[in-house]
Amino acid sequence: MLALLLSLIVLPLGPLLYGAARRSGASIAFLDGFLLVSLGGVILLHVLPETVAIAGGWTALLFLAGVFLPIAVERSTRGLASRAYAIAMGLAIAGLIVHSLFDGVAFSLGGEGDVHGHATHDHDHAHDHDHAHGEESSMIHSHALPLAVVLHRIPESIAIWWLLRPRHGALAALAAMALLALGSITGFALAEQFGRLLESATLASVQIFAAGLLLHVISHRNPEALQPIDRRRKNLWSGAGALAALVLVAGAVPADMATPIGREFLKLALESAPALLIGYLAAGLLHVFLSSASVRWLGRGGALQQAARGMAFGLPLPVCSCGVLPVYRSLVMRGVPPAAAMAFLVATPELGIDALLLSFPLLGMELTLARLASAVLLALLVGTLVGARVRASAPSEPAEEPCCDARESFGERLRRAWRVGAFELVDRTGAWILFGLGVAAMIGPLASSGLGVGLPMPLEVALFALLGMPTYVCATGATPLVAMLIWKGVSPGAALAFLLTGPATNVTTYGLLSRLHGRRVALAFGAVMAAGSIALGISANALLAPGGLEFSGPHEHGAELWRYVPLAVLFALFAASMFRLGPRHFFGQFLAPDLHDDDDACMPREAHHGHAHDHDHDHDHVHDSGHHHDHARDHDHAHAHEQAHGSRERSASEARAALRQAPPATGCCGASAGDE
């Protein structure tokens, strides 16, 4: 009863906070950042893991569909984009109301259980999810319950008011909030009748899809402040709100509620952080110190020779799948030929010395040599075939050649390399890296569950090749996993296909390629990687004898404190980027990709297809030269003003074109007065 009363008491705080915050630009920016992160945290840390526990790991794909399917619909139905957004918003709010019904059931049946738990702890024997902490768990949940209720209800009430009040008026928003309260009361009163529905995989799947829709519509809906503030202050206040929400979300998760997805995310983050830091450092140094002679050496010969040189160039670099992306971008920006850059992108994370040395004891001599030969062939194939497409599709930004390296001191060049690696590249890739780690954490448990065993070998190879494409794994870390898969009965060819696609491709890779070269090149890269990996995997099955692998078990890392130091540094870089850009733009790089043009300047969706969202997108990015460019536009769109808005958009486009043609305001080395 206490949890129910508390949930009803805090429900009106949403409109009160929204109304008070809207009077000040700083406070509404703080609330904006708080809502984005708190709502995302509730979904990712509570709703998603519980749905996976009830309905299986495949429901994570439903969540991703809820987030990104509306974007695809809006792109394909230009005249119906506004209606598609309205439908998504209606379904998301309906999902919130249904969720409140089961919250009421959990309040009644769970007693002192988790407010988000949906009574999963009451069904341990049915689901056997290894919740064996009994009394200790109950005590932890009882202490966390009030904070969890506040965490749960306040973002929901703010979200309803945020979405409905500006578009449909206060009456519609109040009606939705009344239904939210009524749902909790009904669920509490009729807990016995609705209790069995908590185990329904169908309802859990519907709810997680609605949660994805909610995250989509919130990311596309900006607040309107009565007293706007400048962009920098707005981003700082919004970042502060996001940080406050992050602390609140982390504090509301009991220590014993670690989920497979959460553990997988932490493991991947710990493994990736050192490589990412090395990658950002190497990218900055390459951008500043890579000489024209090196670029010319990589560009000699035809596409095949360039691909071979790019592959050889990456061999000595200790860069993993996560760290290779900023280095690749720097190579492209410096004018390295696409064939060489593409081969570097594929070969560098796959041909690490540490991964190959680990392969000999775990995979055996034959499969290790097959892995090496396949990685070389695949890198040459991608560099040769996809590089030809990139030449016809110029990069989004021209390659920059330092014009006065001779006049820059060594210290100045180091500072410029730091600005490139720790500011610009983090701004452009940080959110995508977090997204890639999250997707990999969702998919990772599926790879180790014996998935695909028993399928015909060609289908098994194709399955594991496709499974590795969005997965975020380093070649070294994937080696024990693949050894375990073979030990469980997976064919060597399927394991090889996973080793080829897993380290070289992930969601972040496709996002970066799309932004640099266009969507067609990103799709071509994925298609060649998939086809080549499948063909090499099938060939390996034909040439290698299955079985005979002596497996000594996976290599688990300890929990040494020093391993968290690189992760803390990486988190600090990402947090600084979020404060510079603001949470909405930082996460909007993948939540709302249509809002950014090729120059990474924010574009309203109407400029693409007349979408009637309300946008207020700000952007501050640090260019290679170290100076800042500010882009700030506030939009309040309605169909009645479509013609006027079109003229404003044309003016904005003309202004951007003039800025591109204008001479730079800083010195040729990029050291403005403010930088020194």
CA-wise closest residue to 155 among 28, 6, 14, 7:
14
User: Distance between CA 187 and CA 356 in Å, rounded?
Assistant: 56
Is pLDDT larger for residue 411 or for residue 452? 411
Percent of the chain exceeding pLDDT 90 equals 11
Per-residue pLDDT, 348: 85
The domain ranges of the chain are: 2-125+135-257, 265-549, 566-648
Answer for the pair 583, 239: CB distance below 8 angstroms, yes or no: yes
State which amino acid sits at residue 405: D
| 505: phi then psi, degrees, rounded to nearest 5 | -135, 145
Instruction: Please tell me the least confidently modeled range out of 415-424, 443-452, 531-540, 611-620.
Output: 611-620
Residue corresponding to tokens 């958009």: 649
User: Distance between CA 201 and CA 143 in Å, rounded?
Assistant: 29
Neighbour count for residue 304 (Cβ, 10 Å): 15
Q: How sure is the predictor about 183, in pLDDT bands with cuts at 50, 70 and 90?
A: confident
Answer for the pair 505, 466: CB distance below 8 angstroms, yes or no: no
Q: Which conformational region is residue 454 in: left (phi greater than 0), alpha (psi within -120 to 50 degrees), or beta?
A: left
* pLDDT value at 386 more than 70: yes
* pLDDT value at 124 more than 80: no
Is pLDDT larger for residue 414 or for residue 631? 414
Q: How sure is the predictor about 477, in pLDDT bands with cuts at 50, 70 and 90?
A: low
User: Distance between CA 354 and CA 373 in Å, rounded?
Assistant: 16
Helices (H), 190-259: 191-194, 201-219, 231-251
Could you tell me the two tokens for 296?
């010319």
Answer for the pair 149, 106: CB distance below 8 angstroms, yes or no: no
Dihedral of alpha carbons 442, 448, 454, 459, sign: positive
User: Distance between CA 57 and CA 446 in Å, rounded?
Assistant: 7
Q: What is the pTM of this model?
A: 0.62
Q: How sure is the predictor about 539, in pLDDT bands with cuts at 50, 70 and 90?
A: very high
Could you tell me the two tokens for 610?
């007349």
